[in-house]
Structure 1
């Protein structure tokens, strides 16, 4: 339960043509290369990944090519499709409503990129980046925000890492309804819970390689897609306890996110809370919170900087 320090940074990459994105992405190698699965390291696997991307995310193909052309790294193009990445399993709790989205991201401190990115690939987007240009959560200039939590089942199948799916939804959709329609046809490789909010509505969706997209009973999620949760899983993740807590606290209670049971300390197991984010997408504003500290970013006033913060303390 001891305190730890982690550095978060904020970068502006515009449309990806001026070298800022490429310079940062290249600095992430060889760690980024470790995301590729074995199939993605073969010519046939790379071809399948490209075809899947062209089929399901055609609007982003020019951006993919623009970014991949600057990487100058073997496997860079297939890595950016996110259609040949190894699965990852995390924690997280999130809720949305009244035009806002509130979430805790729980993962291993050394395995989270911790980079807030402002981009204009197809449109203005701000979000917490992972794996090159994927997103853990984010918002766009139309007032749409989205975030993810792991769905709780360790099955894996063909499809995209959810990180690029969140990027795609924000780049191409204005509303929750548009995002829901697009998401119905996109294969996702691991069970995930995706929460969306715009000024009019909020929804959580269950997706995965072994289930059809399903609308959750309410616009909040922890790390399960069906109840009851097996006792062993609940002891490890406390997913039902956290869902009950966030249901009671609601989208305005940041303080509840910074204390147990929503704030988690299991960093060695990859389940410690790394940051809290509160998106107010209609205002173009997001605030990231840590114990005793916060950092606001917006489309009107995005600040490039870095901050080293305390996690796992102050309770």
Structure 2
């Protein structure tokens, strides 16, 4: 099977003040209308979003101010709060164990930023960036790694976009226990499953606007929080099938993530696999994988660059 091409890049943006982050983010601005609702990009929305940050994630407020100054746009601060971010519903499968976080991110190629970022906003963090400075997954220099999957329930409520919550956890937490404690008090706007790994602990939790944080029996997730899943939803997402498959494969079977049912080909439906990531946060390194190709990055040797990979190819 011949797949489609997707460009990925790796950027070292440090604390965001040397122009590299701003240049990259400004280039994304023409697409901001696809991410952000116009009605939420107002002074009132920005004020509410800042108050929410000051209450729940105050450590990020100085970072928002610093980065907004680099953007030099009147709506830059609102953009950075993700207050206007449209709800997005993706696929994804993930599992943690033995100091490793293994995940597939499934989405639409045209809507995936595809940027691996090394940053030092509050501390060293490496992750797959989305929407300017949010994270789909990542790790920090303390040995903590996190990733997300959509929780499968189409509800929306007040709270933060999960992309910025993952950024916050990695900027401020050092252990799974500390991160989960923080998560208990952070409102999240749509249902999400978050897997967390450190050198001693691994955990998956369900969060959402209508449920309390719930710890799952094992540290893996696909795209549901309640079982059984409605038959039509299962046919579309194969979430229960993928969860059974990743449980059976375990965290050590990276090859299983690169073949069906864990590797998905539904790109036109927005559920094709964009990349596989294998984080080993205790070693400070991550490997991003595609069929026939891999790209390793680490805190000790982060190498900026760009690659065009083939998605949906069967070897």
Structure 2: gaps (5+ residues): none
Q: Distance in 2 between matches of 1:82 and 1:136?
A: 14
SS of the residue corresponding to residue 307 of structure 2 reads: strand
Distance (whole Å) between structure 2 residues aligned to residue 219 and residue 54 of structure 1: 31
Map of 1:314 onto structure 2: 314
Q: Is the 8 A contact 2:146 2:166 kept in 1?
A: yes
**Structure 1 74/36 Cα, relative in aligned 2: closer, same or farther at 3 Å?**
farther
Query: Does the CA contact (< 8 Å) of 1:161 and 1:188 recur in 2?
Result: yes
Counterpart in 1 of 2:142? Answer: 142
Q: TM-score, normalising length from structure 1? A: 0.98
Note if contact 2:107-2:270 (Cα within 8 Å) is conserved in structure 1: yes
Q: Which residue of 2 aligns with 1:77?
A: 77
Report how far residue 35 of structure 1 moved.
2.2
Residue matched to 1:215: 215
TM-superposed deviation, 1:305 = 0.4
Confirm whether residue 19 of structure 1 aligns to residue 19 of structure 2: yes
RMSD: 1.0
Q: Map Cα deviations across residues 163-201 of structure 1 (whole Å, 9 max, x no partner).
A: 000000000000000000000011111100000000001
2 CA distance for matches of 1:35 and 1:56?
A: 23
Is 1:195 matched with 2:195?
yes
> In structure 1, what is the Cα distance between the partners aligned to 2:32 and 2:14?
21
Instruction: State the Cα deviation string for residues 26-85 of structure 1 (Å, max 9, x = none).
Output: 111121244222442222112111111111110111111000111123422111112331
C-alpha distance in 1 between matches for 2:216 and 2:31: 35
User: Aligned partners of 1:204 and 1:83: how far apart in 2?
Assistant: 25
- Distance in 2 between the 1:83 and 1:292 partners? 38
Aligned mates of 2:294, 2:246 — CA distance in 1: 20
Is contact 1:284–1:298 with CA below 8 Å preserved after alignment? Answer: yes
* Ranges in structure 1 where 5+ consecutive residues have no aligned partner: none
Partner of 1:165: 165
Alignment check: 8 A CA contact 1:53 1:83 kept: no
CA distance in 2, matches of 1:191, 1:34: 21
> Could you tell me how far 1:292 is from its partner in structure 2?
0.3
C-alpha contact 1:191 1:208 (8 A) present in aligned 2: yes
Alignment partner of 1:63: what SS? helix
- Secondary structure of 2:235 counterpart: helix
The equivalent residue for 1:297 is 297
Q: Bigger CA drift: 213-222 or 34-43?
A: 34-43
Match of 2:99 in 1: 99
User: What's the counterpart of residue 108 of structure 2?
Assistant: 108
Query: Which whole-Å deviations, capped at 9, do the CAs of 1:243-281 have from their partners, x for residues lacking one?
Result: 000001011111000000000000000000010000000
Structure 1 position 216, deviation (Å)? 1.1
